[in-house]
Amino acid sequence: MKEGFLNVTSEIGNLKAVLLHRPGKELERLTPEYLHELLFDDIPWLKKMQKEHDEFARQMEARGTKVYYYEELLAEAIEDQHIRQLFISDVIKNSNIANLQLERIIEEYLQTLKPEAIVEIAIAGLHKTDLPEIERELHLVDHIKKSYPFYINPLPNLYFTRDPGVVIGNGLSINKMKTPARDRETMFLEYIYRYHPLFKKESTPLWYDYKETFSIEGGDVLVLSDSVVAIGCSERTSARGIEILSERLFENSNIKQVLAIHIPFTRAYMHLDTVFTMIDYDKFTIYPGVEGLLKAYQLTPGKTVPKVEPMESLNVALKKALKLPAVDLIQSGGGDEITAAREQWNDSTNTLALAPGRVVTYNRNEASNETLRNHGIEVVEIEGSELVRGRGGPRCMSMPLVREGL
């Protein structure tokens, strides 16, 4: 087998390549009445949000990281007319239009556009006013959904590129999202994987597929080393999904054990990386409000299903898995309970490691950032007053494609 491009064997190795999505028109299509349906709590100011995101990318590029963008790779992946037709059909199918005549009209309209314009609609959505007026027979669904503004929903969560996919070793997990509102995001990654030469599909094993039954989201998956992965069992990631992914990794990769970490099922802690991330060889940042609630289980290869061993604590589990004499669990918030809770809501523990002991964080989390510095961590701060409105931080906004080995 030829050598592939993707390779991630840790959370902290020098970040060489990353996949981002620059927030766009999809965020301007958020309105108060549809926030819940589109998994948002607030309406960001796009112009400021884009400036913040550009600075995030610039900080990575300044330290040697190659930045790729979803919208560019996807447009390149559907350059071929046949693949473009398949993509259009899948976007329409995902949109649950439930009107064959209208589906044909939308399909014919999209076929007239260039790949970049098709991708923009697939991400930003198709507003009813975007489609030229064509006389057609109305169905019941047209009357029922008359007040709903979109034929194709926007995808405001796409800038959280961590969740649709995760590179583990030299392979890729294209995740099954918990909520239908994000299914199209994983479909995009599938097209990039299958049809973009960068991903070298023939050399890149697929560990998980978005058409699976059981949910797994990338914010719950931490590649701790070349042989150990931690996966949060959370509001968004299922226990059975963890088992299935573990089985495939044990059978086909260098992963020898998986730490399943059970966290409270609440939106505030929707993924493991909202309360816990790795920042150095033996250092982790953790939100103290959940530290005593986390339950860790060691999964190793078994006869028919992975063998599960409950661990005494997260601390013990990490030391054992990583063969370390001690680990430093650095509590966010600077030792103050209220500050820790406030800063966790603003993603203080959602750090992105650029290298061992060097992380990107939001500058608003002052106490947590100072605590990290006091533990010898280099903190690269970015502005995030608008980015944070989507309930995610630097780790959520990035999908590492290549990290240097440790």
Domain boundaries, the chain: 15-68+156-403, 72-152
> Catalytic site residue 233?
no
pLDDT digits (tens, 9 = 90+) for 117-149: 999 999 999 999 988 777 777 888 888 888 888
Distance, CA of 83 to CA of 111 (rounded, Å): 12
What number of other Cβ atoms are within 10 A of residue 270's Cβ?
25
Question: Virtual CA dihedral for 406, 309, 313, 404, nearest 10 degrees?
Answer: 10
User: What distance lies between CA 75 and its chain's CA centroid?
Assistant: 20
The pLDDT value given to residue 63: 97
Distance, CA of 78 to CA of 80 (rounded, Å): 5
Q: Is the dihedral of CA 37, 42, 43, 45 positive or negative?
A: negative
Which CATH number does the domain 72-152 belong to among 3.40.50.150, 3.40.30.10, 1.10.3930.10, 2.40.50.320?
A: 1.10.3930.10
Distance, CA of 273 to CA of 121 (rounded, Å): 30
Q: Is the dihedral of CA 262, 266, 271, 274 positive or negative?
A: negative
Architecture of domain 15-68+156-403: 5-stranded Propeller (3.75)
Report phi then psi at 75, rounded to 5.
-60, -40
Return the DSSP state at 157.
Answer: G
Question: Virtual CA dihedral for 180, 348, 228, 248, nearest 10 degrees?
Answer: 0
pTM summary value: 0.95
The pLDDT value given to residue 181: 87
Side by side, the strands of the sheet bearing 15-20 are 66-69, 15-20, 399-403
Helix, strand, or coil (residue 318): helix
Amino acid letter, 217: E
The pLDDT value given to residue 157: 95
Of the candidates 396, 399, 401, 402, the residue annotated as catalytic is 396
List the chain pLDDT tens, one digit each, 406 residues. 457 899 999 999 999 999 999 999 999 999 898 888 888 888 999 999 999 999 999 999 999 999 999 999 999 999 999 999 999 999 999 998 878 889 999 999 999 999 999 999 999 999 999 887 777 778 888 888 888 889 999 999 999 999 999 999 999 999 999 998 899 999 999 999 999 999 988 889 999 999 999 999 999 999 999 999 999 999 999 999 999 999 999 999 999 999 999 998 877 788 999 999 999 999 999 999 998 899 999 999 998 889 999 999 999 999 999 999 999 999 999 989 999 999 999 999 999 999 999 999 999 999 999 999 999 999 999 999 999 999 899 999 999 999 999 8
Distance, CA of 141 to CA of 162 (rounded, Å): 35
The pLDDT value given to residue 1: 47
